[in-house]
């Protein structure tokens, strides 16, 4: 399965402040850090989310149809993460709520415009 997702940013300080606070809601902390790259993950095995300034020196842009999803351990955690994202300046892309019988999710765009979801299956 997916090992990690990398999102581009044009403002590392803003992106890091956003993701440090947001990903703390799901227990993730920084696991790897360089001048133009930071990755967060939960303890133990599993995937990571990272932000980077593009290595080619060109501006970061948003991929149309690209989305990263953050797994939550409950519907309540989905609600908290989604609300926190909006508090941190994310743009709403679909309020937290049921999407099907066993799938609950909220959708937002980070301050760079990258689309993310927070979801719970169960």
- The C-alpha atoms of residue 80 and residue 63 are separated, in whole angstroms, by 26
pLDDT in the model for residue 1: 57
Q: Would you say residue 45 lies in a domain?
A: yes
pTM score, whole prediction: 0.87
CATH code of the domain containing 90: 3.10.180.10
**Dihedral through CA 72, CA 77, CA 78, CA 83, nearest 10?**
-140
Residue 101 inside a domain? The answer is yes
- Residue 101, pLDDT score: 92
Does the residue 15 lie in any domain?
Answer: yes
Q: What are the average pLDDT values for consecutive 10-residue runs of the chain, which has 122 residues?
A: 86 97 96 93 86 92 89 96 98 97 96 95 93
Classify residue 29: in a domain, yes or no: yes
61 within a domain of the structure (yes/no): no
Domain that holds residue 45: 4-54+66-121
Domain count, the chain: 1
């Amino acid at each position: 399965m997916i090992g990690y997702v990398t999102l581009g940013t044009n403002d590392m300080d803003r992106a890091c402040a956003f993701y440090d606070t947001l990903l703390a809601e799901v227990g993730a902390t920084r696991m790897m850090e360089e001048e133009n790259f930071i990755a967060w993950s939960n303890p133990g095995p599993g995937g990571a989310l990272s932000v980077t300034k593009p290595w080619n020196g060109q501006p970061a842009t948003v991929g149309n149809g690209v989305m990263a999803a953050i797994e939550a351990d409950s519907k309540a955690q989905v609600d908290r993460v989604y609300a926190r994202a909006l508090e941190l300046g994310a743009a709403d892309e679909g309020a937290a709520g049921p999407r099907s019988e066993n799938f609950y999710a909220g959708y937002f765009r980070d301050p760079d415009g990258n689309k993310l979801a927070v979801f719970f299956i169960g």
